[in-house]
Structure 1
Amino acid sequence: MASNSSPKEIIKEFPFFRVYNDGRLEFFRPPCVKVPPFDDPISGVRSKDVVISSQPTVSARIFIPKVTNPDKQKFPLVLYMHGGGFCTFSAFAKPYHDFCNTVSSQANAIVVSVEYGLFPDRPIPACYEDSWAALKWVASHVSGNGPDPWLNHHADLGRVFIGGDSAGGNIAHTLALRVGSIGLPGVNLVGVTMIHPFFGGTEDDEMWLYMCASNGGPQDPRIKPPAEDLARLGCERVLIFVAERDYLCPAGKNYYEELKKSGWKGRVELVEHLDEKHVFYLRNPTCTNALELTNKFISFIKQNNGSPRNSIESKY
């Protein structure tokens, strides 16, 4: 007897997943392996997981460097958003844990690595809203009476940085725009670092539009920031990393050029690594260019006066 059910057909295929005619999604990568927080006996960095919001669920992993003066020691704070195409990966994955642990140790900074909602369980714009909730949660410690003792006692909210790679770089932009547009009392956003950020003009555009049901098309300001948005970034400095063999490289370079022309009053620097692919620093963290990228990221946090007012482009 012939079956009345239609055969399963692929109706859309994106870089991270395909969609079947019955609505099923097939992801090309297995779920990432997560590691628990732990106290690093070598660097002295401690880490723990915290719940920022229960409805919806938003959590983060916090890293704090070795405290030598419990009563007076204050550290700059870095809010970091992981990559993964808005649909995969985790702040709790080993590559991100290791990177944030290194940044905390060598920059002598508190790092808050955000576990934001992912498609399909929580479609875009959940990633943006969850990350904003995390930044506001950080700001709730400005008077020293927030929910987390590490931040109450040791976070210097006059020295806050935002960072992210790939999708997380895009999210970092939206946070800086919100700070510049509506403010965040008590918080001084010094700088933003974007590593191989996603913006419009690539094959990923259609995937982003599919994951975000309420969108403005290819010109949506979250993926194609207009000059008026760029001019409102609420930070003093921006550092952008691109990789020559990364398909997102042109998007990162275009963001850099548009930011310079926008009228924004801060300092922006572009660093390009030649003959490297997307997020190479996570795949091969001990290679020369990965170490250089990490050191540059750390120096960006530690520097006092920033780079010269004129934009700089570096290549390695």
Structure 2
Amino acid sequence: MSRTIGDGTTAPPPQEVDECRGVLRVYGDGSIWRSNKPSFEVPVYDDGSVLWKDVVFDAAHGLQLRLYKPASSSTATKLPIFYYIHGGGFCIGSRTWPNCQNYCFKLASELQAVIISPDYRLAPENRLPAAIEDGYAAVKWLQDQAVAEEPDAWLADVADFSRVFISGDSAGGNIAHNLAVRLGAGSVELAPVRVRGYVYLAPFFGGTVRTKFEAEGPKDAFLNIDLIDRFWRLSIPVGQSTDYPLVNPFGPNSPNLEDLDLDPILVVVGGSDLLKDRAEEYAKKLKQWGKKVEYVEFEGQQHGFFTFNPNSQPAKELMLVIKKFITENSI
């Protein structure tokens, strides 16, 4: 493919410098191509047992979130609210992707909860901290609903605003961490919304020093080291390293988590996930500092195992772990 320039001559097409999962291409002249198709083409399993709809939560940036709720609840009490923030290395992914939607169906049904799945601005067009700011805006939207004179009845009639859990998958887990730090224990600034806990699913953390598993783990991992490096290169602010405070929780300029009061945290990772060491170190350090943290590792599982095969035995066990975490922290 060639392109015609002003004087009528032809020039070679711009050189591709980065590519992510076939849905994002970045070229040397700064141009970017995005596919309107997901990188995971799987059927959507919508059997009608879970209702859903989209809502705009940030008109200025054209951002929407997707709400889910069981079509019929097994309890007379209002349902907890569970945020599910999608992954994709801050560069790809969407609430509309089939793997994300299928997992949200599963979460709504199995947890008997209202699920909120927000989108956020993606890199490299919008580098960090854009995604973190959008995660915060998605939670502030819930507060607006809680205090509105005429809230969205679809949500307010079934949702318990005092039992909110913020969960994220991979990059979404990073967003959940940064929200936990920003909001602190009790989430006072969100009143009457009350965050009860956070669930980090294979959180996407980084750092300039490789962990042992990043260096020695399987080269054919689903999320391999080349892709990890590429995601960071495209998403962190220009001129920053992976010790950037929003990337490395223990970086030289990161907030001192030892001094922070945090709500309960559940950290989940697969045993074959190259992010494993960072997730485990995070949980261990916070536990040493007296935080209420639970760490669960699923032996032999790859990054994102719970969304790619939500009916697998490990994914079913994870759902029970999440359900127990919600029950224990709803009192």
Q: 2 CA distance for matches of 1:130 and 1:255?
A: 24
Structure 1 residue 110: deviation in Å? Answer: 0.8
Q: What is the aligned counterpart of 1:51 among 56, 63, 87?
A: 56
Cα pair distance change 1:304/1:164, threshold 3 Å? closer
Match status 1:240 vs 2:257:
no
Cα pair distance change 1:66/1:171, threshold 3 Å? same
Match status 1:219 vs 2:225:
no
**Could you say which residue in structure 2 is the equivalent of 1:177?**
181
Aligned length in residues = 299
Match status 1:164 vs 2:183:
no
**Could you say which residue in structure 1 is the equivalent of 2:65?**
60
Cα pair distance change 1:251/1:130, threshold 3 Å? same
Q: Deviations over 1:71-104 (max 9, x none)?
A: x742111111001111112112222212112211
Give the alignment's TM-score, normalised by structure 2: 0.77
Q: 2 CA distance for matches of 1:33 and 1:15?
A: 9
Q: Deviations over 1:110-149 (max 9, x none)?
A: 1111111212443332211111111000111223536422
**Could you say which residue in structure 1 is the equivalent of 2:281?**
254
**Could you say which residue in structure 1 is the equivalent of 2:4?**
none
**Could you say which residue in structure 2 is the equivalent of 1:190?**
196
Structure 1 residue 152: deviation in Å? Answer: 2.5
Match status 1:287 vs 2:319:
no
What runs of 5+ residues in structure 1 fail to find an aligned partner?
307-316
Match status 1:79 vs 2:83:
yes
Structure 1 residue 195: deviation in Å? Answer: 0.9
Q: Deviations over 1:26-67 (max 9, x none)?
A: 7799634799999743x3x21111111110111111011245
What runs of 5+ residues in structure 2 fail to find an aligned partner?
1-8, 211-224
Cα pair distance change 1:55/1:232, threshold 3 Å? farther
Q: 2 CA distance for matches of 1:92 and 1:177?
A: 28
**Could you say which residue in structure 2 is the equivalent of 1:22?**
29
Q: 1 CA distance for matches of 2:126 and 2:96?
A: 18
* 3-state SS of paired residue (2:92): coil
* 3-state SS of paired residue (1:236): coil
Q: 1 CA distance for matches of 2:21 and 2:286?
A: 28
Structure 1 residue 22: deviation in Å? Answer: 2.5
* 3-state SS of paired residue (1:199): coil
Q: Deviations over 1:195-247 (max 9, x none)?
A: 11110136435632432335642321111113744346664311111111111
**Could you say which residue in structure 1 is the equivalent of 2:97?**
93
Match status 1:302 vs 2:327:
yes
Q: 1 CA distance for matches of 2:44 and 2:10?
A: 51
Q: What is the aligned counterpart of 1:107 among 89, 111, 115?
A: 111
Cα pair distance change 1:147/1:115, threshold 3 Å? farther
Amino acid in the other structure paired with 2:241: G
Q: 2 CA distance for matches of 1:21 and 1:215?
A: 18
**Could you say which residue in structure 2 is the equivalent of 1:278?**
303
Give the alignment's TM-score, normalised by structure 1: 0.80
Q: 2 CA distance for matches of 1:225 and 1:68?
A: 38
Which 10-residue stretch deviates more, 281-290 or 198-207?
198-207
Q: 2 CA distance for matches of 1:279 and 1:232?
A: 31
Amino acid in the other structure paired with 2:70: P
Q: How does 1:126-165 map to 2 (within 5 A)?
A: 126-143=130-147, 145=149, 147-165=151-169
Cα pair distance change 1:185/1:8, threshold 3 Å? same
Cα RMSD, aligned residues only: 3.4
**Could you say which residue in structure 2 is the equivalent of 1:314?**
none
Q: Deviations over 1:236-266 (max 9, x none)?
A: 31111111111111121121122223x3x54
Q: Is the 8 A contact 1:139 1:186 kept in 2?
A: yes
Q: Is the 8 A contact 1:34 1:92 kept in 2?
A: no
Match status 1:207 vs 2:231:
yes
Structure 1 residue 19: deviation in Å? Answer: 4.4
* 3-state SS of paired residue (1:141): helix
Q: 2 CA distance for matches of 1:113 and 1:36?
A: 19
